[in-house]
Amino acid sequence: MENVLLIFFSKELCILQIIANLDPNRHGHLFAYIMCSQFNTPKPIHLIIDTGSSNTTLLSDDVTRLSINCTILQSSPIPSLTASGTIIPFLLPGVQLLIEVRYGWFNQKRNFGVFHLASIHCMPPTHPQLMTQQRILHACSLLGMDVLRLFKKWQFTENKLILKT
């Protein structure tokens, strides 16, 4: 399993929380920012909480939307099993995910936790000619167990999933 380093600066010892919105099918969604070896400016990303994914994964539409150059990436030695079959993902090195965390008394304070990942998976990109405004707006990727394992307590409310360290 890949190592994930969480960097969070606070003067107090605290439990960190990530709050994801639940859609009607009870899938957890959150918005974050990503930086990687191919760009240093944080770019927004829509993530779906996926306990069935061992690794955080950029899906094809996001790979294209973020202009990830897969031709210079190594292939993963381990294939990914997907609903469409087996795919060999690319490995995107040096990734930082910036995810809003809540902490402090009654979790009223907010900041960004920076999750450093040695690499994440990238699915093969969507052909640019197939990218429509609709696909760009609905592009999402997967927050996998490499990050989710840091959160030991999960609480479901009517429309939220609260992950706590």
CATH number at residue 12: 2.40.70.10
pLDDT band at residue 1 under the 50/70/90 scheme: very low
Residue 109 belongs to domain spanning: 4-155
What are 62-73's pLDDT values in tens digits? Answer: 999 999 999 999
Task: With CA atoms as reference, report the closest residue to 92 among 60, 114, 117, 113.
Answer: 117
Is the per-residue pLDDT at 42 higher than 90?
Answer: yes
Q: 165 in a domain, yes or no?
A: no
Q: Where are the beta strands (DSSP E) in the chain?
A: 4-7, 17-22, 28-36, 39-49, 57-58, 74-75, 80-82, 85-87, 90-103, 109-122, 141-143, 153-156, 160-164
> What is the DSSP track for 6-33?
EE---SS----EEEEEE-TT--EEEEEE
Where residue 135 falls among pLDDT bands split at 50, 70, 90?
confident
Pick the closest to residue 154 from 8, 26, 24 (CA basis).
Answer: 26
Give a yes or no: residue 71 inside a domain.
Answer: yes
């040096």: which residue's tokens? 94
**What is the predicted pLDDT for the residue at 2?**
47
- What pLDDT band is residue 34 in, cutting at 50, 70 and 90? very high
Is residue 56 helix, strand or coil?
A: coil
What's the domain count of the chain? Answer: 1
Q: Is 111 contained in some domain? A: yes
160 within domain boundaries: no
- 161 within some domain: no
Within-domain flag for 162: no
Q: Which element (helix H / strand E) includes 148?
A: helix 145-148
